[in-house]
Amino acid sequence: MKKVGFFKSIQVKFVLVYTLLILLAMQIIGVNFTDRVMENSLDTFNATLKQQANMLAINVGEAIKEAKETTQGDPNDITAKVNDQLSNIEGGLKEVEVIDDTGIIVATTDREHQDIVGKRTTDEKIMHDVLNSTNTNHQYKQRDEKTGERFGAITTPIMVDNQSYGILYVAKSMEGIYKDLRENNGILASATVIALLVTALLGMFLARTFTKPLAQMQKQALAISQGNFTRKVKRYDEDEIGQLAMSFNNMTERLHEANATTEAERRKLRSVLTYMTDGVIATDKNGHVILMNNRSEELLGVYRQNVLGSFIIDLLKVKDEYSIDDLYKLDQTIILDFSNDEQKILLRANFSMIKKESGAVNGLIAVLHDVTEQEQVETERREFVANVSHELRTPLTTMRSYLEALQDGAVNDEALATKFLGVTQTETERMIRLVNDLLQLSKLDAKDYTISPQRTEFMAFFNKIIDRFDMAKKQNIHLVRKLPDARVYVYIDRDKLTQVIDNIISNALKYSPEGGSLTFQVIKQKGFLRISISDQGVGIPKENLGKIFMRFYRVDRARSRKLGGTGLGLAIAKEMIEAQGGQIWAESEWNKGTTIIFTLPLTRGGREL
């Protein structure tokens, strides 16, 4: 899980928001407080200045009146009288000027600018007040252009007994007010910083009470995502967060149980898919393969790593016949042919859709079943029925023809009747052999037979059978024996093995040319006895060699039927040899002859005979 950045942490966000709220509140309070203090200070300043100006105007007016009455209006005397009054002023006044009705400066407290006394004032505001003097005060603010000092000024008419003697200009510095305001602002700023620090500490403590359980829940959620369900969130209080922690722990337990159940079901499903005899392929909604089991790999001859993500119609080789939409709608079985030069493979495929709860199609499931053996059995069954029908129809047709001929009058011809009856008898015996062979095969298929093994000295047993054929054979065929002199014992069912060897030797004699030879060979090998019977006939083509043990199979049907064969002898021999623990096969070269080989075990129950 990605680590949360410092400024993205909920604890930092909480503290920042909490601190900013306090800062905003302090700023609003500070602005209001400063404005109110500023307003009150200015009001007090203006009221004090006005009071001072009014009192000074009275004193100055009296001095001017007295000077005019005693000195007949001598300007110097008036200035002296006024200066006496101005020299006694208090209250931190910056400058006081006395201007008569004509705008002439009578006196000033500014020692550096005493030269302006007796001159007309150049201050437009003062001159405007001289020309429009009334009983009202005119206050305004000014700033010294050189020093930048701010001060408040007021012009007050000098009135004595309703007689106007000019105006009084009084200026007083305001820097004290602004200094006090700066000090107040500094105090307020310090208080704000302290409040913010305290707020941050309290906010961190408060945020920790919320974020600590949340951090534990985050760690537990991470542990759960990694499959660890053993962690528990510590419950600190009984409040909502404590209840949330308890609910989170309960949820973890339920999730653990659900995950365990899901995992168990998943293992079951995986086990079923892995070991089921049918192949299973799953696709996404677009038809791309997302899952397949081991059996699917075996049936299709592919590796899942190479075909995951491929299109299912390409994988199943049905692109020319079906589209993916056709497979979604398909409600019947289709047969897939995956045969190659080495083996025949037929698969039956069934398809079903995967749907979401909303009903939307989410994919496709294909189930593959190997029906090669089933189809082969069905084919063999049809061929078997056809072969039996054909084998029975031929002698029956022959018998019917000869019987009809006898019925039509041939019975009166003694020689012809005898010949026809002989043919009928031969065909009847042939049908009897066929039926007997079929009955025997049926018993072998149904395991409705008993093997009665006996300890037998095989060389004597084999020689006796060869001697019987050597005495009874009518062809000029030489029998060659390559048999060991030593005694070899085997456990065999003598009657059934005699039938097998008789069948093999009879076939060899039938297909051997005049003057040829049959070779009998026995080789003792480790654990078994190898017996071979070779003729010098035309042989069997290589492509037919593996089929001669199939029922009713004949390399040369016409010649075999002419020689009285049913095509079941080698099939019966194969069943009997395998029933006694051996194997049988054929080797042949065209125009050089055929060798039938079978083996018999030399041990019984793990013990050598």
User: Domains (ranges, CATH) in the chain?
Assistant: 10-180 (3.30.450.20), 276-370 (3.30.450.20), 376-445 (1.10.287.130), 454-608 (3.30.565.10)
3-class secondary structure for 116-140?
HCCCECCCHHHHHHHHCCCCCCEEE
pLDDT at residue 522 in the model: 92
Q: Tell me: the pLDDT tens digits for 204-235?
A: 777 667 667 777 777 777 777 777 777 777 76
Q: Which two tokens stand for residue 326?
A: 């056709």
Q: How far apart are CA 595 and CA 576, in angstroms?
A: 18
Q: Is the pLDDT reported for residue 507 higher than 70?
A: yes
Q: Tell me: the pLDDT tens digits for 459-491?
A: 999 999 888 888 877 788 889 999 988 888 998
Q: Tell me: the pLDDT tens digits for 234-272?
A: 766 666 777 777 887 888 888 888 888 888 887 877 777
If you search the block for the tokens 């397949």, which residue do you land on?
292
pLDDT at residue 457 in the model: 92
Q: How far apart are CA 76 and CA 274, in angstroms?
A: 129
CA distances from 91 to 55, 94, 170, 172 (A): 12, 9, 11, 9
CA distances from 571 to 367, 381, 465, 575 (A): 36, 15, 21, 6
Q: Is the pLDDT reported for residue 359 higher than 90?
A: no
| Distant-in-sequence, close-in-space partners of 496: CB < 8 Å, separation ≥ 6 | 451, 576, 579, 580
Q: Which two tokens stand for residue 259?
A: 């995950």
pLDDT at residue 561 in the model: 46
pLDDT at residue 532 in the model: 93
If you search the block for the tokens 């899942």, which residue do you land on?
304
Q: Which two tokens stand for residue 54?
A: 């009014």
Q: For residue 26, give the amino acid letter.
A: M
CB atoms near residue 110 (< 10 Å): 13
Q: How far apart are CA 318 and CA 302, in angstroms?
A: 16
Residue 70 or 334, more confident: 334
Residue 45, CA atoms < 13 Å, CB-side half-sphere: 26
Element (H, E) at 600: strand 593-601
Q: Is the pLDDT reported for residue 598 higher than 90?
A: yes
**386 pLDDT band (50/70/90 cuts)?**
low
Residues in the chain: 609
Element (H, E) at 486: none
Q: Which two tokens stand for residue 123?
A: 């201050």
Q: How far apart are CA 13 and CA 204, in angstroms?
A: 10
pLDDT at residue 566 in the model: 55
- The 3-state DSSP class for residue 86 equals helix
Q: How far apart are CA 87 and CA 492, in angstroms?
A: 159
State which of 90-94, 152-156, 242-246, 379-383 shows the largest mean pLDDT: 152-156
Least confident span in 151-165, 234-248, 304-318, 579-593: 234-248
Q: What are phi and psi of 71, to 5 degrees?
A: -115, 15
* Residue 462 near residue 535 (C-beta atoms within 8 A): no
Strands 517-525 and 603-604: unpaired
Q: Tell me: the pLDDT tens digits for 12-22?
A: 777 777 778 87
Strands 361-370 and 607-608: unpaired
**599 pLDDT band (50/70/90 cuts)?**
very high
List % helix, strand, coil for the chain (3-state, nearest 5): 55, 20, 25
**525 pLDDT band (50/70/90 cuts)?**
confident
Q: What are phi and psi of 225, to 5 degrees?
A: -65, -25
Residue 508 or 560, more confident: 508
Q: For residue 70, give the amino acid letter.
A: T
- The DSSP line for 306-367 is HHTTSBHHHHTT-TTT--HHHHHH--S-EEEE---SS---EEEEEEEEEE-TTS-EEEEEEE
Taking all residues of the chain, what is their mean pLDDT, rounded to a whole number? 78
pLDDT at residue 91 in the model: 63
- The beta-strand segments (E) located in 10-122 are 93-99, 105-108
Rounded average pLDDT over 180-186:
83
- The DSSP line for 438-481 is HHHHHHHHTT------EEEEHHHHHHHHHHHHHHH--S--EEEE
Q: Is the pLDDT reported for residue 342 higher than 80?
A: no
pLDDT at residue 572 in the model: 77
Q: Which two tokens stand for residue 125?
A: 């505001």
- The 3-state DSSP class for residue 567 equals coil
Percent of the chain with pLDDT over 70: 83
Q: Which two tokens stand for residue 515?
A: 């003057």
Rounded average pLDDT over 111-122:
77
Q: Which two tokens stand for residue 83?
A: 């200066």
If you search the block for the tokens 């293992």, which residue do you land on?
267
* Residue 126 near residue 138 (C-beta atoms within 8 A): no
pLDDT at residue 237 in the model: 65
pLDDT at residue 72 in the model: 63
Q: How far apart are CA 328 and CA 417, in angstroms?
A: 72
Q: Is the pLDDT reported for residue 162 higher than 70?
A: yes
**403 pLDDT band (50/70/90 cuts)?**
confident
Q: Tell me: the pLDDT tens digits for 545-592?
A: 777 877 666 665 444 444 445 567 788 788 888 888 899 998 888 778
Residues forming a β-bridge with 279: 368
| Distant-in-sequence, close-in-space partners of 98: CB < 8 Å, separation ≥ 6 | 60, 64, 82, 86, 105, 106, 107, 108, 158, 166, 168, 169
- The 3-state DSSP class for residue 512 equals coil
* Residue 61 near residue 158 (C-beta atoms within 8 A): yes
Nearest to 507 by CA among 398, 393, 435, 588: 588
Q: How far apart are CA 344 and CA 376, in angstroms?
A: 9
Percent of the chain with pLDDT over 90: 5
Least confident span in 6-10, 27-31, 179-183, 445-449: 6-10
